[in-house]
Amino acid sequence: MRATLKTAAGYLSTLVTRYTPLDLSRPSLEGIFNVLPITNSILTSGQPTEAQLQCVRDAGYRHVINLAPHGIENALPDERASLEALGIQYTHIPVDFKNPTEAHFAQFCETLQGLGDTKVLVHCAANMRVSAFMFRYRRDVLDEPAERLLDDLHSIWEPFGVWKKFIATPPPDPEAQA
């Protein structure tokens, strides 16, 4: 619960940065809201600022996957154009916070697997959507033990409602697909 409250408060600070002259962000990878490295090539976070996108590029990241819908409160005006100007590829999979679907998850998995070893930043508004998607991806695709993955997930938030159900969805049975 503490991580969920921290994430909610942090999200509000991103809105202060977005809508007032007061900038509470730091132009660094570590300064991105709710940043959480997963591997040497996968970084997750909440919404980065324009200045932080330059840090993403400078750190060697060549692709960004955004799971937040268009028009979310702390979104950049035109993230795709900002990233293209930096030479970074962009994939947008807009996930409604109230309705994450298996189709969204399948598209996410296909995109992430297609990137191979390319360094990728996966973000949404607050790293809540992303942390749940990464939990399932690591459990279902990379076959990592769920017990170990819960620490990363719970460092961001403790999913509730539709998200609790989403992460509880069992991995597909390989024998049923054969």
Lowest mean pLDDT among 8-17, 54-63, 116-125, 130-139: 8-17
Amino acid, res. 73: E
Over 80: is that where the pLDDT of 46 sits?
yes
Confidence of residue 11 (pLDDT cuts 50, 70, 90): low
Domain range for residue 121? 2-170
* Residue 177 placed within a domain: no
pLDDT digits (tens, 9 = 90+) for 86-142: 999 999 999 999 999 999 999 999 999 999 999 999 999 999 999 999 999 999 999
* Residue 164 placed within a domain: yes
pLDDT of residue 25: 65
CB distance 137 to 108 below 8 Å:
yes
Closest of 68, 92, 90 to residue 81, by C-alpha = 90
Phi, psi of 36, rounded to the nearest 5 degrees: -145, 110
* Residue 24 placed within a domain: yes
pLDDT of residue 3: 74
* Residue 126 placed within a domain: yes
Reported pTM: 0.87
Q: How many domains does the chain have?
A: 1
- CATH number assigned to the domain comprising residue 44: 3.90.190.10
Query: What is the rounded distance in angstroms from the CA atom of residue 77 to the CA atom of residue 83?
Result: 12
